[in-house]
């Protein structure tokens, strides 16, 4: 999402709220009640200060008030000296209750923000996983990783800021009511002083916070990209000695991000120190004014103490509200990035009952394809038939459309024109959406670079299957067919031995044969080898191709290769040039 497309904070928050579940909305409503209770508790706590200070300084004057005397006599107190204990008890109880309610509110705020963050994170990841293959092809993975990991975390921070802002405003409103009840003139003056100061600060810091937010998001993306590229090509980095190059990219992005975050933190915190000093000056001036009006300190000290305590609590509430707002503004770009992924359209959710059987042939009839309307066609009217049990070799120069053809064949891409038929059935018929899923379930893909998780060999062969549901007998059978069983069973841990991150403990040929075993574990009837041996040396390639030759003749196999020698044992070798079938050869 470009900076220009980032919407106002209010709109972003409404978008987030609209995407929440009904349960979370109810919880937010209940949390508002707790916020209201926090405000009331602060008001009661402030209300007990005035009688407490009056008892300490001049209990006789407090006893002269009719309401106080009536309540005291009813409670069994007969003189002003006896007011100290109940006034102190009421003050302490009110302070403890207010603190308890505020702590409860804070605990609920953080818990709810974390729960909402988990919901959003899971939904972003789910929607990303379910996007069509063409979306993943066109998207930069570092941007997605940055959003799912870093930006979702900052969105939780933004939600927490919203809740802190709401709580602080609620508390500030009730404290203001208390100050108005004590002395409305002083309360209005205090509100005008501090309110105008915060409004001025908001106006001067708003644009800086938003700009820094966009730059922090961009720097985070560069940071993830630098880590991906540096560690992903660690062999070349070590061989070329290019560590300083990647370190500089990383440090530049990291330094920029941290400096900008430091600026935002300063903008969020500095008003507190300025306004605390301003508040102390205001209280001192107020004391002078009240003493001059009251002809002594007997009545002034309780009043001034109550006002001072109220201001002392009002200032942190206002500061927390401002900090929440500032934090929220600094997370604008992160909110926008998360919302963009949350609004990704989901395809209809269907579950294929069983893999689609291939009884006769796969047909590509007049298939055309382009990755975007403004891009040229990769395939131009391709006609191809692959019969059940055939072994087809697909060769051609780079950019000829080989990988696009098999992506279409596997149902990962939708033709821009033409049809893909399996036994005469159109896989992309909108009336039968489950058909495409059933076809995908019938296919296994062995790419050039096999992704291996840092897990056991058994878990990598039964890839995507929960550990407790892996069929070890099926794993052994798949490994035997892939000509890798003897190596696995001869190792110390057998099928439980770990392969290391990305299979670093295995040779290239061993990784490819585990990829073949993974395809066979799936019990697919159609296997696609997408340049699966192109990165191997001749001896290893021959060993892998020998393993493929030994596979069941009931399987339909499509092999993409650069070299004709790789596909020499295929039933047919088909050459693609410029998106069209150019030459057909028989082996």
Helix, strand, coil percentages in the chain from 3-state DSSP, rounded to 5: 65, 10, 25
Which range among 129-133, 240-244, 537-541 has the greatest average pLDDT?
A: 129-133
Residue pair 191/175 in contact by the 8 Å Cβ criterion: no
CB 123 within 8 A of CB 19: yes
Taking the C-alpha atoms of residue 297 and residue 279, their distance in angstroms, rounded to an integer, is 21
pLDDT for 30 equals 92
pLDDT above 70 covers what percent of the chain? 78
Q: Which residues of 9-22 are buried (b: 16+ CB within 10 A; e: fewer)?
A: beebbebbeebbee
Which residue, among 54, 44, 56, has the nearest Cα to 90 in the 3D structure? 44
Who wins on pLDDT, 205 or 556? 556
pLDDT at 6: 58
Residue 287's CB is within 10 A of a number of other CB atoms, namely 17
pLDDT tens for each residue of 501-520: 555 667 777 888 888 888 88
Q: Is 383 helix (H, G, I), strand (E, B) or coil?
A: strand
| Whole-number pLDDT of residue 26 | 92
Report the pLDDT value the prediction gives residue 426, as an integer from 0 to 100.
Answer: 92
Predicted confidence band of residue 2 (pLDDT cuts 50, 70, 90):
very low
Token pair for 2: 């470009």
User: Which pLDDT score is estimated for 430?
Assistant: 85
The pLDDT tens digits for 10-32 are 888 888 888 888 999 999 999 99
Instruction: Give phi and psi for 580, each to the nearest 5.
Output: -130, 150
> pLDDT at residue 179 above 60?
yes
Phi first, then psi, for residue 423 (nearest 5°) are 50, 40
The DSSP code sequence of 38-100 is HHHHHHHHHHTHHHHHHHHH-HHHHHTSHHHHHHHHHTT--SGGGGHHHHHHHHHHHHHHHHH
Mean pLDDT of 418-436: 89
pLDDT band at residue 39 using 50, 70 and 90 as cut-offs: confident
Query: Based on the number of CB atoms within 10 Å of its own CB, is 481 exposed (0-12), middle (13-18) or buried (19 or more)?
Result: buried
pTM of the model: 0.69
Residues 371, 547 contacting (CB under 8 angstroms): no
Nearest CA to 267 out of 359, 362, 202 is that of: 202
- Radius of gyration of the CA atoms of the chain, in A: 35
| pLDDT for the residue 288 | 63
Residues 233-251: what's their mean pLDDT? 71
Confidence band, pLDDT 50/70/90 cuts, at residue 165: confident
Secondary element (H or E) of residue 410: none
Query: 212: buried, middle or exposed (CB in 10 Å: 19+, 13-18, 0-12)?
Result: buried
* pLDDT score of 254: 79
Q: Coil, helix or strand for 366?
A: strand
Mean pLDDT, rounded, for 86-112 = 85
Q: For residue 63, what pLDDT is reported?
A: 65
Provide the 3-class DSSP secondary structure of residue 322. Answer: helix
Q: Which residue has the higher pLDDT, 478 or 55?
A: 478
Among 81-85, 150-154, 253-257, the minimum mean pLDDT is found in: 81-85
Q: Which of 500, 509, 502 is nearest to 547 (CA)?
A: 509
pLDDT at residue 421, rounded to an integer: 92
Q: Tell me the C-alpha distance between 244 and 321, whole Å.
A: 44
**Phi, psi (deg, nearest 5) at residue 336:** -65, -40
| Average pLDDT rounded to a whole number, residues 131-151 | 78
Q: Per-residue pLDDT averaged across 456-478, rounded?
A: 86
CA distance 25 to 116: 10
Token pair belonging to 296:
């002594």
What pLDDT score was predicted for residue 503?
59
Give yes or no for residue 172 having a pLDDT over 50. Answer: yes
Each residue of 295-333: pLDDT tens digit? 544 455 555 555 566 666 677 777 777 777 777 777 777
Q: 483 phi and psi, to 5 degrees?
A: 60, 40
Q: pLDDT per residue over 81-95, tens digit each?
A: 677 777 778 878 888
Query: By C-alpha distance, which of 433, 427, 453 is closest to 526?
Result: 427
82-96, 214-228, 425-439 — which is least confidently predicted?
214-228
pLDDT value, residue 132: 83
In the predicted model, what is the mean pLDDT of residues 420-447?
87
Give pLDDT tens digits for 368-415. 888 888 888 888 888 888 999 888 888 887 777 888 888 899 888 889
Average pLDDT over residues 472-479: 87
- What is the pLDDT confidence band of residue 523, given thresholds at 50, 70 and 90? confident
User: What would the pLDDT profile of 231-240 be if each residue is shown by its tens digit?
Assistant: 666 656 666 6
Give pLDDT, residue 420.
Answer: 92
pLDDT-based confidence at residue 583 (cuts at 50, 70, 90): very low
Q: Over pLDDT 90: what percentage of the chain?
A: 3
Give the mean pLDDT of the chain. Answer: 78
The per-residue pLDDT for 587 is 43
Q: What are phi and psi of 541, to 5 degrees?
A: -60, -45
User: Given the structure tokens 């007998």, which residue do they identify?
Assistant: 473
To which residue do tokens 């990991």 refer? 149
Provide the H-helix boundaries in 295-355: 300-330, 332-342
Average pLDDT score over residue span 558-587: 73
Q: How far is CA 187 from the centre of its chain?
A: 44
Tokens of 207: 């644009």
Q: Identify the helix (H) or strand (E) that includes residue 426.
A: strand 425-426
């Amino acid at each position: 999402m470009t900076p220009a497309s980032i919407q106002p904070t209010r709109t972003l928050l409404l978008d987030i709220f609209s995407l929440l579940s009904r349960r979370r909305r109810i919880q937010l409503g209940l949390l508002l009640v707790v916020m209201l209770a926090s405000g009331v508790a602060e008001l009661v706590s402030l209300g007990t200060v005035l009688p407490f200070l009056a008892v300490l300084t001049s209990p006789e004057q407090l006893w002269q008030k009719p309401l106080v005397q009536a309540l005291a006599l009813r409670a069994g107190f007969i003189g002003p000296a006896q007011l100290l204990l109940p006034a102190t008890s009421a003050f302490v109880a009110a302070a403890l209750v207010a603190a308890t309610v505020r702590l409860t509110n804070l605990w609920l705020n953080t818990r709810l923000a974390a729960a909402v963050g988990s919901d959003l994170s899971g939904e972003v990841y789910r929607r990303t996983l379910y996007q069509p293959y063409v979306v993943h092809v066109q998207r930069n993975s570092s941007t997605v990783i940055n959003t799912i990991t870093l930006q979702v975390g900052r969105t939780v921070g933004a939600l927490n800021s919203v809740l802190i802002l709401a709580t602080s405003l609620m508390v500030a409103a009730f404290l203001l009511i208390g100050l108005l009840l004590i002395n409305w003139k002083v309360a209005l003056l205090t509100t005008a002083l501090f309110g105008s100061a915060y409004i001025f600060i908001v106006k001067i810091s708003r644009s800086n916070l938003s700009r820094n937010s966009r730059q922090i998001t961009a720097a985070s993306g560069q940071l993830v990209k630098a880590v991906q590229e540096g560690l992903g090509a660690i062999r070349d980095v070590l061989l070329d000695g290019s560590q300083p190059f990647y370190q500089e990219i990383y440090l530049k992005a990291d330094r920029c991000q941290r400096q900008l975050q430091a600026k935002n933190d300063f903008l969020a915190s500095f008003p507190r120190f300025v306004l605390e000093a301003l508040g102390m000056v205001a209280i001192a001036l107020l004391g002078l004014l009240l003493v001059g009006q009251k002809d002594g300190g007997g009545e002034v000290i309780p009043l001034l103490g109550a006002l001072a305590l109220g201001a002392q609590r009002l200032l942190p509430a206002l500061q927390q509200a401002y900090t929440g707002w500032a934090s929220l503004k600094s997370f604008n770009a992160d909110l926008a990035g998360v919302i963009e992924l949350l609004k990704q359209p989901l395809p209809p959710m269907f579950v294929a009952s069983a893999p689609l059987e291939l009884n006769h042939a796969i047909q590509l009839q007049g298939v055309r394809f382009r990755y975007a309307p403004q891009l040229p066609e990769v395939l131009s009217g391709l006609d191809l038939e692959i019969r059940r049990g055939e072994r087809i070799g697909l060769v051609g120069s780079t950019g000829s459309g080989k990988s696009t053809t098999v992506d279409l064949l596997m149902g990962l891409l939708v033709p821009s024109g033409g049809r893909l038929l399996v036994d005469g059935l159109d896989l992309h018929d909108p009336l039968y959406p489950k058909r495409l899923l059933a076809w995908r379930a019938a296919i296994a893909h062995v790419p050039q670079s096999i992704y291996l998780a840092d897990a056991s060999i058994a878990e990598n062969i039964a890839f995507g299957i929960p550990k407790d549901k892996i069929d070890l007998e099926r794993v052994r059978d798949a490994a035997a067919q892939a000509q890798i069983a003897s190596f696995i069973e001869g190792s110390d841990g057998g099928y439980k031995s770990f392969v290391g991150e990305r299979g670093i403990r295995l040779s290239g040929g061993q990784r490819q044969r585990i990829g073949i075993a993974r395809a066979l574990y799936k019990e697919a009837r159609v296997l696609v080898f997408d340049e699966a041996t192109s990165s191997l040396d001749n001896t290893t390639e021959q060993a892998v191709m020998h393993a493929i030759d030994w596979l069941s003749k009931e399987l339909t196999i499509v092999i993409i290769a650069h070299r004709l020698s790789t596909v020499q044992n295929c039933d047919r070798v088909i050459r693609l040039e410029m998106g069209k079938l150019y030459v057909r050869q028989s082996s």
